[in-house]
Amino acid sequence: MLTLKKISLFILLFISLFTYSQNKENSFYAEIVIIENVDLIETINSIINENNCINKNADLYLDYRKDKHIILGQSNIKKYIKSFKIDNVKVYMTFIDNNPFFIFSNSNSILQIKKTDYKVDLTEFLDYNNYSINDLSNWILEDKDGEIKVVKKVLRGCKER
């Protein structure tokens, strides 16, 4: 009887550990951060507030995966989560004007962010399939001597004011 209890306990422990490791493997999180670069925040806010090319239904993001440029764009972030996990893209999230705002990076060495140790679970979007093409505006930003400049605009879907 004692042996049966030990075997049952061992099997239960093994199943728990196996399930835990699978959940970790099949999960994806965005770490909540605070953007520390005041000039970057002001540039983003001015683009959002002074622009009629922002789609209110799209998610705004900064993409740091290009070497010298930062892309301020908008899209449906849910459809990229699976590829971000495969490509090992780091995803961070913050809030601007009470709206979620995402940051993508291959490395956090160039980011001027403060990590909070809080995370948002994006695991449910690993199975999300959406193959639609969004034709939305984006801005190419560059950090020149500590000042953020818009070096190129691609404006699409703008509304009349």
Asked whether residue 64 is assigned to any structural domain, the reply reads: yes
Q: How many domains does the chain have?
A: 1
- SS3 readout for the chain: CHHHHHHHHHHHHHHHHHHHHHHHHCCCEEEEEEECCHHHHHHHHHHHHCCCCCCCCCEEEEECCCCCCEEEEEECHHHHHHHHHHHCCEEEEEEECCEEEEEEECCCCCCCEEEEEEEEECHHHHHCCCCCCCCCCEEEEEEECCEEEEEEEECCCCCCC
Please give the mean pLDDT across all residues of the chain.
83
Higher pLDDT among residues 25 and 47, named by residue: 47
Asked whether residue 22 is assigned to any structural domain, the reply reads: no
pLDDT reading at 115 higher than 50: yes
Higher pLDDT among residues 119 and 160, named by residue: 119
Domain range spanning residue 147?
27-154
Asked whether residue 124 is assigned to any structural domain, the reply reads: yes
Lowest mean pLDDT among 10-19, 24-33, 56-65: 10-19
Asked whether residue 9 is assigned to any structural domain, the reply reads: no
Asked whether residue 137 is assigned to any structural domain, the reply reads: yes
In this prediction, residues 56-68 reach a mean pLDDT of 87
Higher pLDDT among residues 7 and 148, named by residue: 148
Asked whether residue 38 is assigned to any structural domain, the reply reads: yes
Asked whether residue 4 is assigned to any structural domain, the reply reads: no
Asked whether residue 19 is assigned to any structural domain, the reply reads: no
